[in-house]
Amino acid sequence: MDYANWLSRKDLEYKNNQLYFSNFNVQELTVKYGTPLYITSEKIIRARYNEIDCVLKSVLHDYQIHYAVKANSNLSLLKILESEGSYFDCTSRGEIYSCLRAGIPSKKLLYTGNIFTDEDFKFAIENEVIINLDSLSQLYRVNKIYDSLKNEKKLISFRYNPEFGAGHHVHDITAGKNIKFGILDNQIVEAYQKAKDFDFHRYGIHIHIGSGISNVMKYQKAIEKFFSIIEKISKEVSIEFEFVDFGGGFGIPYHPGEETFNFDLYKELVIAPFKSLIEKGNIGNPQMKVEPGRFLTAESTILTTQINTIKDNGYKRFLGVDAGFNTLIRPMLYGSYHHIIPCYKLEKGEFLKYDIAGPICESGDILGKDREFSELKEGDYLAILDAGAYGFTMSSNYNSRPRAAEILLSKGTSYLIRKAETYDDLFRSQKIPNHLK
Ligand SMILES: Cc1ncc(COP(=O)(O)O)c(C=O)c1O
């Protein structure tokens, strides 16, 4: 994809050297709301949801898209996705609360945790949220909780670990023998047999092999194993599945010119074979679920930041900005690439290479390495692209820095959807014991 198309897919363009995002002048917005600032385009979220919806619709009629709330849990984004027809996947009670707070009914939620407490289970059961269990021992605990609550045991699902994982970084590969997620081959049949013995009588199954997968071929081995284990469970335990959940992981084009996720190939390797598996008639007539997070929200958001310090130490040039790994941790945590562009670009004079440095007191606080710019000066603004997934949700107060504001662009209007934290917010929940006062 050429650079202009790559930018335009993200609804970004330069007009008279000024950066526009969804038809808004980025610098004007940034000056109005202050930096650092997360700016989200409603239009892009809707477009990405429709992209996945069209792919699934072209093969299947029974499917649900569960947005993975962990990517970005802002209530306004949840509301946008719900209005498109999305369901949701939550990984914690806090994420379930977020959905309920956004007015999303609990029947639209999945709870795919990993290490659950009994309180987590109780909360999910009382709210009738479907749980994807992560271990055999959790089944025993959930069964006891159902008995103690005297709730009817209905649907239960397990996360299967197919041992073939993939992802943009080793921390985000979620399948494999040494990986903490899911149930391996040696226990998965037993898990369903036990569930049946315990009187659960409706079943789902779940898989999620990793996050940020650009090469669709990486799904192939895991999916082949997944399908054969589904058939094996159905046959050996004599059960049918109500849903098969394929998780998320769809990568996005972070690098300039990078191609988008190849949904045609995903259709060929995953969706169409799933349809054929159902047509064989051995596993029931399960619904397909997917759980994309990054794909739906990453490209919807830019993070703007102001350059306050330009430093040339004789060996290296640094652009010092007011966003750091407290604001966007992905470059520091995973070595992830986020493209960074100026809000006003002159493009005359010499291009110089800079590292974009945040204010955090660690030398790893670099948002971009060896990026080329011309004619930048202190006070100028930069936009960090594709910051909508695992951006704000992974931000922190490290170095006692308040978290950034978030705004939403919708049909020509900008809305503040989260105020920037204040210094008072940092101390709101702290208490000093009397003897120290
Ligand atoms: C269970 C589960 N589902 C969905 C996702 C979303 O992944 P992604 O944002 O890569 O689509 C994750 C993320 O790690 C996950 O753990």
The 10s digit of each residue's pLDDT in 184-224 is 999 999 999 999 999 999 999 999 999 999 999 999 999 99
Token pair listed for 179: 């990986």
Give the whole-angstrom CA distance, residue 14 versus residue 21.
9
At residue 154, the pLDDT reads 85
Q: Which domains does the chain have, with CATH numbers?
A: 3-41+298-427 (2.40.37.10), 112-292 (3.20.20.10)
**29 CA → ligand 1 middle, Å:** 31
| Minimum-distance ligand 1 atom for the alpha carbon of 211 | 10
Q: Is the pLDDT of residue 238 over 80?
A: yes
Contact 294, 242 (CB under 8 A): no
Q: Is the pLDDT of residue 347 over 80?
A: no
At residue 375, the pLDDT reads 82
What percent of the chain stands above pLDDT 70? 100
At residue 401, the pLDDT reads 98
Amino acid making up residue 165: G
> Parallel, antiparallel, or unpaired for β 87-90 and 301-312?
unpaired
Token pair listed for 55: 């792919």
**219 CA → ligand 1 middle, Å:** 14
Per-residue model confidence as pLDDT tens digits over 46-85: 999 999 999 999 999 999 999 999 999 999 999 999 999 9
Pocket probe mutation, ligand 1, options 67, 171, 208, 246, max atoms within 8 Å of Cβ: 208
pTM value is 0.98
Backbone angles phi, psi at 371, to 5 degrees: -95, 140
**367 CA → ligand 1 middle, Å:** 23
Please give the mean pLDDT across all residues of the chain.
Answer: 97
| Minimum-distance ligand 1 atom for the alpha carbon of 294 | 9
| Minimum-distance ligand 1 atom for the alpha carbon of 132 | 1
Contact 394, 38 (CB under 8 A): no
Give the whole-angstrom CA distance, residue 191 versus residue 173.
23
95 lines ligand 1 (CB under 6 A): no
At residue 98, the pLDDT reads 98
245 lines ligand 1 (CB under 6 A): no
Pocket probe mutation, ligand 1, options 51, 67, 70, max atoms within 8 Å of Cβ: 70
Q: Is the pLDDT of residue 348 over 90?
A: no
